[in-house]
Structure 1
Amino acid sequence: MLLLGGRIHAPGAPDATAMAVQDGVVVWVGQDGPAKALYPDFEVVRLDGAFVAPAFVDPHVHATSAGLLLTGLDLTGCTSSADVLDAVRRAEGDIVWGHGWDETTWPEGRPPTRAEIDAVAGGRRVYLSRIDVHSALVSSAAVDHAPGTRGSDGWDPDGPLSRTAHHRVRRVALRELSADQGTTAARAFLRHAASRGVASVHECAGPDISGLQDLADVMALGRSDSLPDVVGYWGEIGAFEAARELDLRGLAGDLFVDGAIGSRTAALHEPYADATTSGNRYLDTGDIAEHLIECTNAGLQAGFHVIGDAAVSAVVDGFAKAADTVGRDALAAARHRLEHVEMITMAQAEQVASWGVIASMQPMFDAAWGGPDGMYVQRLGERGTTLNPFSMLARSGVALAFGSDAPVTPVDPWRSVQAAVHHRTPGSGVSARAAFTAHTRGGWRAAGVDDGLTGMLVPGAPATYAVWETGDLVVAGSDSRVQRWSTDPRSGVPGLPALDPGVELPKCVRTVLRGKTIFEKGWLDG
């Protein structure tokens, strides 16, 4: 196949307009004239000025839950408690599964009570996860179907459930989905991801998130020629048999050290600014160290969900203990992961970098909840302006991989890149080039693919790319000296779409994985 008349994002060739692909591999990148002379027998695809770039990777998703948001009750647009109740009242089916409510800006200042949910549920089982999926509104009928929920840790007789109580109700709600419902939802999500230029996702499953059968089903979908790759992670200590049986990349992802800030379950050194609690920690330093040691010795990635500063401290201490046992070099070679890692200091970042840790982060968390008037400041006060310090982590040498945590935030990679550049705390963002790399090559590296080719469009690389409709390309450096050199053609720096606030972002026309098209504009319309 010979792509002609486009704008190819190729290192060292900012003026490239053509790319040749054979047997799923990029074999040549350059300009149209030489391309037509070198490959006269190749099938021609005329790009008409479209932008061709490495496909995105989303290194933290929950496919079935995100698919249920597409096929079920989407509460992300609710602007009041009354909106949620109206949505439940109108929902069809004996079981109502919804997601996405966020009460922090509602006029009522609170989510619906259980009595209010019951009044519109009509005796049905209702499960409505908060935007961060660390608490949920449920009906009394849903509680009745989850034995042991009442009185367990995180139980509230009238408000949202969190911690153990939430996990018990969620597990039962997931089990009650039919296999067909789950597979249909996961397939819908993967198709949606492909339509956003994503060629690979990392499914971050775990016993409190989904289930092993769900993980196996999602990974099976990823082996299809028509859907994105799925890299599997399972967040459970000691689950080495499951890792072998499912050929998992690691016992990582959502292995919870703590919860989330919005639900006030992220573990803090000091109490929340709007509550008396300091959150919850689910693993101690010894648990963390032992898991790291066992995974390192087994050749698996370990990883943890970690958000609050107290949880980050526990993780850093756990890594230090593990390094004392297996050695710094062995620990670094394993490329263990930290998911979210929102409240981290520079000293901790430098330690984490020395252990080769990859930080899997979600820039749209900051876009949604950062800034002086955002949810982070509501919950944490002044501490809320220091979260998600992308630039500090990058300066410290921590490898970044950017994603969505769908369904927490949507799969929208260009908006994610834009959010990483335009961080709501000045000085915490990164350059467009760094953000784009974290969402492409960074995602492949996070799953252990670090061959110097994958995630780029160069000869010898897998032909995994997306084609975009977009305007002029720009090159921006971190300061005026860098910018002057970057925009000079001699630098060989390829351009990217403009990412200024309010600008129209690129629209995906086609997504290709190892030479096979997994999305083309118009496919989702039929």
Structure 2
Amino acid sequence: MAVADGQVVWVGQDTPGVALYGESAEVVHLDGAFVAPAFVDAHVHATSAGLLLTGVDLTGARSVQDVLSAVKQAPGAAVWGHGWDETRFAEGRPPTRAELDEAASGRPVYLSRIDVHSALVSTALVELASRARDSDGWSESGPLSRAAHHEVRRAAKDAVAPAQRRQAQEAFLALAASRGVASVHECAGPDISSREDLAELLALTGGPQVVGYWGELGGVGTAKALGARGAAGDLFVDGALGSRTAALCSPYVDDPGNSGALYLDAAAIADHVLACTVAGMQAGFHVIGDAAVAEVVAGFELAEKQVGAPELAACRHRLEHVEMVSAEQAAKLASWGVVASVQPLFDATWGGPDGMYVRRLGAERGTQLNPFSQLAAAGALLALGSDAPVTRVDPWESVRAAVHHRTDGFGVLPRAAFTAHTRGGWRAAGVDDGVTGTLVPGAPATYAVWRADELVVGASDSRVQRWSTDPRSRVPALPVLEPGAVLPECLRTVLCGQVIYEREGALG
């Protein structure tokens, strides 16, 4: 492959390549490594994910005492942490506020649950967010959810100094680049971050390209002012299953009086979609539960009556997560050109017959989530992401999870999964020139160099693929390895010809 001025100019066999470019070109010897299009992470929260790198990481906590010990040992006047999951705790419950206050020694503490839709907070932080006590989702002793969580999260974010915020953003983008990611979609919004946070993130250079989204109802003007791609991302129609705030048609089996939280109705959804369509911008929503999906579909149906399906499809509106969707709903969403921004590591982490989904929903519903094959078969554009810090930035693991779905028949083929994590991400952000996200002449030179021990794909007996060296192939067969095998290791990441990550000494 030859690259000039940030663009792929030639792909083929060595002999003609040397004849065409050998005398003047800088030659990179791969020594058995391989090149593939770089990944796009279609859903991240950069500052929160970066704060996890520098704050209290609770993703490995397995007891109440693990959480309390981490808080006691945390340095600083305030504590920011993330990742606890009470379903993995020996006690089967999270710490109480009294226990957290004792460990905090009077400091403000914010500890988001793994799904970031509820949080443990200290009394000192509650005092900085006085409206939380009068908000939906308030608890005197347990985690805060819904509006109360938004209040304390906002107070916790306000306590983060600008320098600390920038450090967190840069740390996260550097990590993403080291995983072969050349672009991330930041899903910002007033309940997630702040305008200043998004503006500062979009101004950063030298790392992965940041595509910004501002998830605010009626926020078209703000999104434009910030330079965001759309008024989309985490504009919440509902919450999350782990926090029992995803909106359901039937109650949670482990909380029979609770059917979750529905934050937007069909009329509000339709109004937002119409405003964005008229402005030529992407609309988008966070939607997980089946009641929320039904409300979104009803909203799009109302919008279609006003502007027509072709106008909706032209804007490529998007849904984040869309975990509980029927075949009929998937077909309707595809007819409106809706992007399904999905996270395969959700299924890998919480799916299966004994996972959190089944504990919350029962076996019948809990094994029917994240039907990637159903969405793809309906014609919906899939774009894969991590929702970092909810799951880690690990694109090869994400590709593998999309292939090896924990419910038979819900996964996709390796090539489709890789395409959804590369070209699909670019298309989800409106880049649809036919070549971006591939490595053919005329495409941006955006790629990663990988070392892998094995280049034979064994997804299943019926889906074996081998690495293709045919330069005419837009998306070659991929080194997606069997569960438990070692995944490819990133040696270099390049964005439009510029190296944004290099493993020291890896390529000579």
Residue in structure 1 matching 2:246, options 266, 269, 272: 266
Instruction: Give the match for residue 414 of structure 2.
Output: 432
For the 8 Å contact 1:431–1:478, the answer to whether it is kept is no
Mapped to 1, the partners of 2:229 and 2:180 lie a distance apart of 23
User: Deviation at 1:162?
Assistant: 0.3
Residue in structure 2 matching 1:75, options 37, 53, 58: 58
For the 8 Å contact 1:352–1:398, the answer to whether it is kept is yes
User: Deviation at 1:479?
Assistant: 7.6
Instruction: Give the match for residue 217 of structure 1.
Output: 200
* 1:287-324 residue CA offsets vs partner (Å, 9 max, x unmatched): 00000011000010000000000000000000011000
Mapped to 1, the partners of 2:460 and 2:482 lie a distance apart of 15
Residue in structure 1 matching 2:225, options 232, 241, 245: 245
SS in 2 for 1:67: helix
Moved more, 242-251 or 135-144: 242-251
User: Deviation at 1:485?
Assistant: 11
Q: Which runs of 4+ in 1 moved over 3 A?
A: 475-480, 482-493
For the 8 Å contact 2:414–2:480, the answer to whether it is kept is no
Question: Relative to 1, partners in 2 of residues 1:131 and 1:390: Cα closer, same or farther, differing over 3 Å?
Answer: same
Question: Relative to 1, partners in 2 of residues 1:484 and 1:58: Cα closer, same or farther, differing over 3 Å?
Answer: closer
* 1:219-259 residue CA offsets vs partner (Å, 9 max, x unmatched): 111xx1x2000011000011222122112110000000000
Mapped to 2, the partners of 1:185 and 1:175 lie a distance apart of 14
Mapped to 2, the partners of 1:486 and 1:478 lie a distance apart of 16
**In the alignment, does 2:72 pair up with 1:89?**
yes
SS in 2 for 1:57: strand
**In the alignment, does 2:213 pair up with 1:233?**
yes
Q: Which runs of 5+ in 1 are unaligned?
A: 1-18
Mapped to 1, the partners of 2:366 and 2:265 lie a distance apart of 24
For the 8 Å contact 2:404–2:459, the answer to whether it is kept is no
For the 8 Å contact 2:182–2:208, the answer to whether it is kept is yes
Instruction: Give the match for residue 341 of structure 1.
Output: 322
For the 8 Å contact 2:323–2:369, the answer to whether it is kept is yes
TM-score w.r.t. length of structure 2: 0.96
Residue in structure 1 matching 2:85, options 84, 102, 112: 102
Number of residues paired by the alignment?
502
Mapped to 1, the partners of 2:468 and 2:387 lie a distance apart of 34
Moved more, 244-253 or 443-452: 244-253
Question: Relative to 1, partners in 2 of residues 1:490 and 1:89: Cα closer, same or farther, differing over 3 Å?
Answer: closer
For the 8 Å contact 2:82–2:114, the answer to whether it is kept is yes
SS in 1 for 2:248: coil
Residue type matched to 1:315 in 2?
V
SS in 1 for 2:131: coil
Q: CA RMSD in A?
A: 1.8
* 1:151-210 residue CA offsets vs partner (Å, 9 max, x unmatched): 321000000000111100110110111000101100100010000000000110011100
Residue type matched to 1:231 in 2?
V
Residue type matched to 1:274 in 2?
D
For the 8 Å contact 1:432–1:476, the answer to whether it is kept is no
User: Deviation at 1:483?
Assistant: 5.6
Question: Relative to 1, partners in 2 of residues 1:412 and 1:391: Cα closer, same or farther, differing over 3 Å?
Answer: same
For the 8 Å contact 1:269–1:309, the answer to whether it is kept is yes
% identical aligned pairs: 67
Instruction: Give the match for residue 189 of structure 2.
Output: 206
Residue type matched to 1:375 in 2?
M
Q: Which runs of 5+ in 2 are unaligned?
A: none
**In the alignment, does 2:106 pair up with 1:123?**
yes
**In the alignment, does 2:437 pair up with 1:444?**
no
User: Deviation at 1:455?
Assistant: 0.1
Mapped to 2, the partners of 1:522 and 1:390 lie a distance apart of 37
For the 8 Å contact 1:485–1:491, the answer to whether it is kept is no
Instruction: Give the match for residue 144 of structure 2.
Output: 161
For the 8 Å contact 1:477–1:486, the answer to whether it is kept is no
Instruction: Give the match for residue 411 of structure 1.
Output: 393
User: Deviation at 1:375?
Assistant: 0.2
Instruction: Give the match for residue 287 of structure 1.
Output: 268
Residue type matched to 1:176 in 2?
A
Mapped to 2, the partners of 1:466 and 1:373 lie a distance apart of 36
SS in 2 for 1:150: helix
For the 8 Å contact 2:458–2:481, the answer to whether it is kept is no
User: Deviation at 1:337?
Assistant: 0.1
Question: Relative to 1, partners in 2 of residues 1:27 and 1:322: Cα closer, same or farther, differing over 3 Å?
Answer: same
